[in-house]
Amino acid sequence: MSERRVAVTGLGIVSALGIGLEPYWQALTAGKSGIATISLFDSEGFRVRIAAEVAGFEPTDFIDRKAARRMDRFAQLSVSAAKLATEDAGLDISADPERIGVVVASGIGGVRTFEKEVEVLLNKGPDRISPLFIPMEIANMASAQVSIELGAQGPVSTICTACTAGSNAIGDAFEIIRRGAADVMLAGGSEAAVTPIGIAAFASMKALSERNDEPEKASRPFDSERDGFVMGEGSAVLVLEDLDRAEARGAKVYAEMIGYGMSADAYHISAPEPTGKAAARAMTNAIASAGIEPSEVDYINAHGTSTPLGDEIETRAIRMALGDSADSVAVSSTKSMMGHCLGASGALEAAACVLAIDRGVIPPTINLEHPDPACDLDYVPNHARESEVRVAASNSFGFGGHNATLVFRTH
């Protein structure tokens, strides 16, 4: 039996750039930053006081109040994004629940709940820990709560591969459909780690930008003055669907997913492998999986975190993977606007790729004011670009050496 083709038929976005597909896309293409001073907790005295928060998010806009109280924020975000995605796709899960599955990633899970319950333990003792602590904190609840809330009874799992997790979730869902184990998958990522311990811990690693006085300019991928990433939060869920099924029900097809590649650095717990060869291999594996040539890639949504090492090594990896075609491909980092959403970032960026194909507009890399000579590709600086995008790829690289690339094509 030949492998089935996979369509993207729905997008659900809950992000610092807006809640819903259109607010997200309008902010991306306008080059708007969603980064500001932290409001979710009092960051006075913290080395880093900025983040990309989902402003105005009310879980009860999407979830019953009682159910919402039993979810950490990361699960509330994933359920909300999944509901937006199924609505966008016009998907009736109840018609065939056993053939519809869920893979929603999270790099950290319910860190907000973890923090709260540690305080209870220290201040009130072990007998006062909430019985809901574990069911709220564990990372699989990004997917489990989507399954419970929407009634999806097909394959359900959660990927936890740090900053690559959202891409791995979409890639795994793609493979599940291709091999016939499900007809539809809700796939993406969710993260809500803008908390005191989340910010303090990444700051202690010197991973975060300390540009507290200019939050909107703090994330500046490929710029010579970059000084680290900005923590973001949010969720994106894509509806992946067997193409024949999608066409039979008259669904809108945003794009077709055609490739998925992975690799490992096998190098360090947090630093990227310096030559970029493993990251390049994820790209070449994805391109081979898609059955295309490197020259056919029109746009790459870069991992592009705004860290000194990462952006330079990714540039090197793109050149290695694409060869002579690297000089003609458009590359941008949407993290310049919505920060680094850890396990959700790959999903939010996959959505940007799908919309670039559908709308014919490439989002910019904002704050690229002082180009780094070591980063010498076309990064679509500061302004969106109207351009036909036939093939788009999305890169994700995570702590521990996880690498993943997704490839989408116009339908």
Residue ranges per structural domain of the chain = 7-248, 257-409
Per residue in 301-355, pLDDT (tens digit) is 999 999 999 999 999 999 999 999 999 999 999 999 999 999 999 999 999 999 9
Per residue in 9-46, pLDDT (tens digit) is 999 999 999 999 999 999 999 999 999 999 999 999 99
| Residue 207: other Cβ atoms inside 10 A | 18
Please, what is the average pLDDT of the chain? Answer: 97
pLDDT at 1 over 70: no
3-class SS string, 255-268: EEEEEEEEEECCCC
Give the span between the Cα atoms of 278 and 377, in whole angstroms: 19
> Residue 168: which residues within 8 A CB-CB, separation 6 or more?
105, 159, 161, 262, 346, 396, 402, 404
pLDDT at 47 over 90: yes
Percent of the chain with pLDDT strictly greater than 90: 99
DSSP state of 72: -
- Tell me the average pLDDT across 150-160: 98
Query: Is-catalytic flag, 160?
Result: no
Which residue out of 160, 163, 341, 375 is catalytically annotated? 163
Exposed, middle or buried: residue 402 (CB in 10 Å: 0-12, 13-18, 19+)?
buried
Which residue out of 160, 268, 303, 411 is catalytically annotated? 303
Range 174-200 burial, b when 16+ CB lie within 10 A, else e: bbbbbeeebbbbbbbbbbbbbbbebbe
399: left (phi over 0), alpha (psi -120 to 50) or beta: beta
Contact 77, 143 (CB under 8 A): no
Of residues 71, 80, 77, the one with CA closest to residue 135: 71
Label residue 150 by pLDDT band (50, 70, 90): very high
Superfamily holding 7-248: Thiolase/Chalcone synthase (3.40.47.10)
Question: What integer pLDDT is reported at residue 297 of this predicted model?
Answer: 98
Query: Is-catalytic flag, 340?
Result: yes
Question: What integer pLDDT is reported at residue 157 of this predicted model?
Answer: 98
Which residue out of 340, 341, 402, 411 is catalytically annotated? 340
pLDDT at 65 over 70: yes
Question: What integer pLDDT is reported at residue 147 of this predicted model?
Answer: 98
- Tell me the average pLDDT across 358-365: 98
Question: What integer pLDDT is reported at residue 233 of this predicted model?
Answer: 98
Question: What integer pLDDT is reported at residue 261 of this predicted model?
Answer: 98
pLDDT at 2 over 90: no
Task: Tell me which architecture the domain covering 257-409 has in CATH.
Answer: 3-Layer(aba) Sandwich (3.40)
- Tell me the average pLDDT across 226-247: 98
Per residue in 90-138, pLDDT (tens digit) is 999 999 999 999 999 999 999 999 999 999 999 999 999 999 999 999 9
- Tell me the average pLDDT across 144-161: 98
Question: What integer pLDDT is reported at residue 404 of this predicted model?
Answer: 98
Q: pTM higher than 0.75 for the full model?
A: yes
**Do 7-248 and 257-409 show the same overall fold?**
yes
Per residue in 256-304, pLDDT (tens digit) is 999 999 999 999 999 999 999 999 999 999 999 999 999 999 999 999 9
Give the span between the Cα atoms of 313 and 270, in whole angstroms: 14
Question: What integer pLDDT is reported at residue 3 of this predicted model?
Answer: 84
Query: Is-catalytic flag, 163?
Result: yes
